[in-house]
Structure 1
Amino acid sequence: MLVPILVTLYILIALVMVISLLLNGVRPSKTLAWLLAIFTIPVAGVLLYILFGRNRRKSKMFSLKNQFGTLNKLENVTCSPDISVNKQKITSLIHKTSSCPVTCHNDLELLKDGKNTFESIFEALEEAKEHIHLQYYIFEDGILADKLLEVFERKIAENVTVRLLYDGIGSYSLSKKYLKKLKHIGVETAQFLPFKFGRFLTALNYRNHRKIIVIDNKIGFTGGINISDKYLKGDPALGKWHDTHLKIEGEAVDFLNRIFVTDWFLASGNKVDISAFKMHGSARKGTSLQIVPSGPDDDFDVMEQVYFSIINSAEKYLYIVNPYIIPNHAILQALMTAALSGVDVRILMSSSTDIKLVDWCVRAYFESYLKAGIKIYLYDDGFLHSKVMLCDDEIASIGTANLDNRSLQQNYEAQAFVYDKDLCLQMKSDFLRDCEKSIVLGDYKKYKERPWIKKLIEGFAKLLSPLL
């Protein structure tokens, strides 16, 4: 008697999911794949769909902007960067999809690797007079965390408000002992979508991958570096971690702060009065940039559209540094089309990643790249964690977003798109220097002859790419 009831219940649940897919599905191929999974893999198909398949863009279940209207257009700071007409379209795209205009009154400092980045961060934290806002995907116990605790205690004694937002999965190892210390000295903390059984199925796959520090709405930091000692000491498996970060002073910091405040409201339920924050801009017209937030509840695939547009706009060169390049069909075709059109397309990544399955999936696309004339450079002096894209000495992208389904569709990300020739040239020089130290893959015919067992493993991993 129990079995027929359970079967009937399962069929009803599956039918509800089918209706949801038909009403809210994005791509026909993806919809069909989930329909097949639901009906051919009993129970597991339904659970996988709940975890990975639902369209957050339709449901707005985790909507940030709609909960707290902090990312409104600020037309008074909009300006036109000194870039070609072809690239101007990208700035318009960003403004329309994320409501973030180009800001021009900024001073930037490019920070490479952990030592330089954290020296700059701690120096800036000591200058705080009003508030310190920190938001990290990974915040781990260790030397850096202890040093931050000391700074927080001193600044709170000076009546500086300190708020720390950390991701429930990325910072899962953060100890209760450390959190108690933070609370004891007066740090306000919030956890983004905690790892709880009641929310496991709805929240596990949607993480806040942003790395942001804002000090007095005047100084900001963003990029790929987390609060982890591996940026200082490395780790036994991969060696030293290399990454890229930005220090920003000027109008763009206000947009970083708005992202933080909005995320803070979602995680803690507490509103922060943004009207009390003054927008600071340098007296002269400085570096032009846009701060671009993206997430699974945006109306459009913001980060995917911007990356896609930059790739298609490339006329001379397109250089990419990224540890997790698992392109969807659109991004893959854009990269191959650019290379086949004569654009110098180069990809720089580590010779291995921190997750073996991801490493296989990343390599599954190498053959397609090489066939189209894309050059691949494998860096083996540590782990490259940077998320950088350079285009035609006009656009430099630095931030948290990888070129994979997780960053483009599922995670909350933040990326800075900088329109400055000097910065582009500086980063281009660094890129080419790292390429000289790397292993070059450029022979398509030779690579195609790799052992069939590697092709089989890569092919299997490629099937899982939508989940990685």
Structure 2
Amino acid sequence: MVSWLLGTGIMLIHLLGVMSAIMALMSSRTSQGAIAWIISLLTFPYVALPAYWFFGRPRFYGYVMARGERDNVLRRVLARYQESSLPYLVPFSNSDTQAVEQLAMMPLTRGNSAELLIDGDATFNSLFDGIDEAEHYLLLQFFIVRDDALGRRLQQHLLDAVHRGVRVYFLYDEIGSRKLNERYLRELVAEGVEVSPFRSSRGFKHRFQLNFRNHRKVAVVDGKRGWLGGFNVGVEYLGQDPRHGPWRDTHLVLEGPSVLGLQEAFWEDWHWATGEVASLNWRAGSHPKIDQNVVIVPSGPADKQDTASLLIQQLIHSATHRLWVTSPYFVPDQGVQDALRLAAMRGIDVRVMIPERPDHLLVFLSAFAFLADMLKAGVKIYRYQPGFLHQKVILIDNDAATVGTVNLDNRSFRLNFEITAYIPDTIFAAEVHTMLVKDFNDCRRITIDEIQQRPLWKKVVSRAAYLMSPVQ
């Protein structure tokens, strides 16, 4: 009897493995990911089955995008916001910008101010000043929040705002901030801060969505000023962690109608997390002195298409003489790899800046599997030397730049909720150019010999890590 039950159980596991492999074949968003899951499910179903059901979901279900859904409360509120933005729409954008607008499902607006914030002190001084000036409400969202010296400073600024009568909404990713202790959160709640984790697996129906993350870093004050970029909340982001050393990152502060795009992304995330529709200011207003064009591009696994990957490909294809990219995690999908190589073959100055020091070993090793092909095509690869590089910035010619949260890897392209500001403005592009010239001067350039002369065992490990990259 025992042997019969054991045999039946083994047959059932293998049958489920075959059925799950068929599901992976039909639903995986990349061929590489489908192959990785199919091989695992057919050869090691005892381990691969639970991993697939908890981490192999191709889409994020249950999330309502107000930009794309009709006949719901969020959509009706946004109709009023979109009407107030009409005076600030840019009517004659070129085809490259139109493609970005289509991906974003948000408009390009004029009348904005976009200010670079280079490294931690500038970023958090600007953010804390903005929090202290809030009159009505604050929206705060981070992937990682730590209960350390910087986290405590943030907490105190939020508590001071609540004591002034400001409504504060605080959203954090459940996995990214898993080490944040309950005491920190209880202290916020006790004083009146609205606090919620972003749980990708909310409810029984969506219990198999554990591999998704909300990687956005967004702050909005009164619907008038907003921040986004690479910084989370922790002392390492100020360069105070010896393991990482100096921390190189870039953030952005916006004023003008584009801030409502940041607000909308937060608003949708808050609705998913809490089921509530926060009452916010949706009246657009322009900056009184600066007139820059900006479009906010939210992206994530709830999108009907791979918004982040398509955005990067569009930026690459739009370049005519320069494309400079910085990313701490560089394992792009095949479409982005091909676009980068083709751009270099067209004679474009394609540069990619990545860290010298690994932060995530698997991602670090994966890059060695394809860097040789990049270098042979003429793509220039640089490794940042002084500390850990974490900024996510792209410069296109002398005309446009992006700052945001998207890394060039599968997790950012297909598994994370991300957000990017696309700024087609020559003055802003010149500021980004100046910043990146200094960064490239702090890099060393990788050679083809460095890649090809690695020991065989390192090449094998890199290929194995690369095959796993779609399921990271």
Is this a same-fold pair by TM over 0.5? yes
Contact 1:296–1:410, Cα closer than 8 Å, also in 2: yes
Measured after TM superposition, the shift of residue 28 of structure 1 is: 5.0
1:401 and 2:411 are equivalent in the alignment: no
The DSSP-based 3-state class of the residue aligned with 2:408 is: coil
| 1:402-441 aligned within 5 A | 402-441=407-446
CA distance in 2, matches of 1:420, 1:374: 25
Contact 2:293–2:425, Cα closer than 8 Å, also in 1: yes
Deviations along 1:211-243, one digit per CA (max 9) or x if unpaired, are 000000011000001111112243222201110
Which of residues 366, 369, 376 is equivalent to 2:371? 366
Contact 1:132–1:160, Cα closer than 8 Å, also in 2: yes
- Counterpart of 1:453 in structure 2 is 457
1:36 and 2:44 are equivalent in the alignment: no
1:17 and 2:25 are equivalent in the alignment: no
- Counterpart of 2:296 in structure 1 is 291
- Counterpart of 2:109 in structure 1 is 103
| 1:86-97 aligned within 5 A | 88-97=94-103
Measured after TM superposition, the shift of residue 64 of structure 1 is: 4.2
| 1:143-162 aligned within 5 A | 143-162=149-168
- Counterpart of 2:126 in structure 1 is 120
Contact 2:380–2:445, Cα closer than 8 Å, also in 1: yes
Contact 1:51–1:205, Cα closer than 8 Å, also in 2: yes
Normalised TM-score (structure 1): 0.91
CA distance in 2, matches of 1:21, 1:38: 9
CA distance in 2, matches of 1:22, 1:128: 50
Are residues 326 and 150 of structure 1, via their aligned partners in 2, closer, same or farther at CA, if it must alter by over 3 Å? same
Measured after TM superposition, the shift of residue 203 of structure 1 is: 3.0
Normalised TM-score (structure 2): 0.91
Contact 1:107–1:250, Cα closer than 8 Å, also in 2: yes
Residue type of the alignment partner of 2:439: D
The DSSP-based 3-state class of the residue aligned with 2:302 is: coil
- Counterpart of 2:312 in structure 1 is 307
251-260 vs 96-105, which moves further? 96-105
Deviations along 1:431-451, one digit per CA (max 9) or x if unpaired, are 11221221122x324542233
Residue type of the alignment partner of 2:58: N
Contact 1:77–1:101, Cα closer than 8 Å, also in 2: no
CA distance in 2, matches of 1:142, 1:358: 27
Contact 1:264–1:270, Cα closer than 8 Å, also in 2: yes
Which consecutive residues of structure 1, in runs of 5 or more, have no partner in the other structure? none
Residue type of the alignment partner of 1:125: I
- Counterpart of 2:336 in structure 1 is 331
The DSSP-based 3-state class of the residue aligned with 1:115 is: helix
Which of residues 224, 229, 249 is equivalent to 2:230? 224
Which of residues 3, 6, 9 is equivalent to 2:9? 6
Are residues 234 and 199 of structure 1, via their aligned partners in 2, closer, same or farther at CA, if it must alter by over 3 Å? farther
Contact 2:88–2:257, Cα closer than 8 Å, also in 1: no
Contact 2:410–2:470, Cα closer than 8 Å, also in 1: yes
Measured after TM superposition, the shift of residue 278 of structure 1 is: 2.4
Q: Percent identity?
A: 33
CA distance in 1, matches of 2:451, 2:370: 12
- Counterpart of 1:353 in structure 2 is 358
The DSSP-based 3-state class of the residue aligned with 1:320 is: strand
Which of residues 64, 68, 74 is equivalent to 2:82? 74
CA distance in 2, matches of 1:114, 1:363: 30
Residue type of the alignment partner of 1:444: I
- Counterpart of 2:186 in structure 1 is 180
CA distance in 1, matches of 2:10, 2:454: 47
| 1:169-318 aligned within 5 A | 169-193=175-199, 202-274=208-280, 276-283=281-288, 286-318=291-323
Residue type of the alignment partner of 1:79: L
Which consecutive residues of structure 2, in runs of 5 or more, have no partner in the other structure? none
Residue type of the alignment partner of 1:51: F
Contact 2:236–2:244, Cα closer than 8 Å, also in 1: no
- Counterpart of 1:49 in structure 2 is 52
Residue type of the alignment partner of 1:327: P
357-366 vs 133-142, which moves further? 357-366
Which of residues 388, 396, 402 is equivalent to 2:393? 388
Equivalenced residues, count: 460
62-71 vs 418-427, which moves further? 62-71
- Counterpart of 2:346 in structure 1 is 341
Are residues 111 and 99 of structure 1, via their aligned partners in 2, closer, same or farther at CA, if it must alter by over 3 Å? same
The DSSP-based 3-state class of the residue aligned with 2:401 is: strand
340-349 vs 40-49, which moves further? 40-49
Deviations along 1:88-109, one digit per CA (max 9) or x if unpaired, are 3232223223321101111121
Contact 1:115–1:231, Cα closer than 8 Å, also in 2: no
Contact 2:32–2:467, Cα closer than 8 Å, also in 1: no
96-105 vs 28-37, which moves further? 28-37
Measured after TM superposition, the shift of residue 198 of structure 1 is: 7.3
CA distance in 2, matches of 1:44, 1:268: 34
Deviations along 1:386-425, one digit per CA (max 9) or x if unpaired, are 0011111112010001000000000000110111111111
CA distance in 2, matches of 1:146, 1:321: 30
Measured after TM superposition, the shift of residue 283 of structure 1 is: 4.3
Measured after TM superposition, the shift of residue 61 of structure 1 is: 3.8
- Counterpart of 1:129 in structure 2 is 135
Superposition RMSD in Å: 2.5
Deviations along 1:67-95, one digit per CA (max 9) or x if unpaired, are 84376693715633897xxxx32322232
Measured after TM superposition, the shift of residue 456 of structure 1 is: 2.2
CA distance in 1, matches of 2:323, 2:199: 36
284-293 vs 325-334, which moves further? 284-293
Residue type of the alignment partner of 1:299: K
Which of residues 462, 465, 468 is equivalent to 1:464? 468
Residue type of the alignment partner of 1:13: L
Are residues 366 and 427 of structure 1, via their aligned partners in 2, closer, same or farther at CA, if it must alter by over 3 Å? same
The DSSP-based 3-state class of the residue aligned with 1:105 is: strand
CA distance in 2, matches of 1:29, 1:151: 46
